[in-house]
């Protein structure tokens, strides 16, 4: 049974130097351990959380000495999450690089970065079994495989978060798209907005009143009615590649949310793989991960059928 502590009184916390530059929502998730992220956003949105007596957005960056008002809230004790030993072993084998500042992982498809929402564990729970501390600085969809970086201390989290926020990280993906994508570079510059559809499901749509999003697609190979393409992100919005691909009538193969076409026989996941990630800090370096075997096998099959 989940235990719930009583509501605390209002707290006023001064931001310490090692938290300077951290996003407010991430700061609150640590300060209110056990509180759902949705409640944290609601507290900020309704003005119950304030920084220096002012209302701010959840993504606002904190500065040393800022005063954060945290309202009374019932805090659940964190649930014990049991991660299978086999998964811990798999993630260990999938570590691409590790330093004192960061860890780079080839994330398997089907593994969410965070637990919750019906999931008993996430990648961060696995990493907690391997390292003393890890902090997420960006995300990959659960269905997406490939290169993902996490910070190992607050200072690294601040540096990496700033690099992503200022578009200093180059992210490239490999995607299989429906139809014949035109040769050359196809740039999609369409704002994206999160909504709930009539069934209550969360999704993202292209909308003029959304947040600006830019994706560059480049066809790598034509494959019997499909296009293997490289996608380069200029911004990093939720489901950005998936929605931009669907918006130009070349939805990602296997995408059950944005593609109505059936996936090729044998494909049991979405064909989207984060193939490379170039970081500017602590030294400029590019990390890469090869296509998983199941995606390579599909490409080989399509090549044979089109020859």
Q: What is the DSSP letter of 168?
A: -
Residue for token digits 């310490």?
A: 16
Residue for token digits 């990093």?
A: 236
Collapsing DSSP states into helix, strand and coil, what is residue 306?
Answer: helix
**141 part of the active site:** yes
Residues 6+ away with beta carbon under 8 Å from 296: 290
**Residues 164 and 102 sit within 8 Å (Cβ to Cβ):** no
Of these residues, 18, 85, 125, 141, which one is catalytic?
Answer: 141
Residues 6+ away with beta carbon under 8 Å from 16: 64
Question: Cis before residue 282, ω within 30 degrees of 0?
Answer: yes
Torsion of CA 179, 195, 140, 137, to 10 degrees: 140
State the greatest distance between any 2 C-alpha atoms of the chain, in Å, as a whole number. Answer: 70
CA distance 147 to 3: 37
- Residues forming the active site: 141
């Amino acid at each position: 049974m989940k235990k719930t502590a009583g509501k605390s009184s209002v707290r006023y916390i001064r931001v310490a130097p090692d938290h300077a530059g951290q996003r407010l929502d991430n700061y609150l998730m640590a300060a209110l351990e056990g509180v759902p992220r949705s409640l944290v956003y609601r507290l900020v949105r309704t003005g119950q959380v304030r920084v220096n007596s002012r209302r701010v957005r959840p993504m606002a960056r904190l500065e040393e000495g800022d005063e954060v008002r945290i309202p009374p809230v019932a805090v659940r004790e964190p649930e014990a999450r049991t991660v299978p030993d086999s998964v811990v072993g798999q993630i260990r084998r999938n570590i691409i690089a590790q330093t004192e500042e960061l860890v780079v992982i080839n994330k398997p498809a089907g593994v969410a970065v965070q637990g919750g929402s019906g999931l008993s564990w996430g990648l961060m729970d696995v990493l907690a079994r391997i390292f003393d501390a890890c902090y997420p600085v960006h995300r990959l969809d659960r269905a997406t495989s490939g290169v993902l970086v996490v910070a190992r201390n607050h200072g690294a989290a601040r540096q990496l978060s700033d690099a992503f926020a200022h578009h200093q990280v180059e992210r490239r993906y490999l995607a299989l798209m429906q139809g014949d994508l035109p040769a050359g570079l196809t740039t999609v510059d369409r704002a994206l907005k999160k909504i709930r559809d009539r069934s209550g499901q969360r999704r993202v749509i292209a909308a003029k009143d959304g947040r600006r999003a830019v994706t560059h697609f480049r066809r790598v190979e034509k494959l019997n009615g499909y296009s293997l393409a490289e996608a380069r992100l200029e911004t990093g919005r939720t489901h950005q590649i998936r929605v931009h691909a669907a918006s130009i009538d070349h939805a990602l193969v296997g995408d059950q949310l944005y593609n109505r076409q059936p996936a090729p026989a044998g494909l049991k996941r979405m064909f989207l793989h984060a193939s490379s990630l170039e970081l500017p800090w602590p030294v400029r370096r590019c990390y890469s991960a090869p296509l998983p075997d199941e995606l390579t096998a599909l490409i080989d099959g399509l090549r044979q059928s089109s020859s």
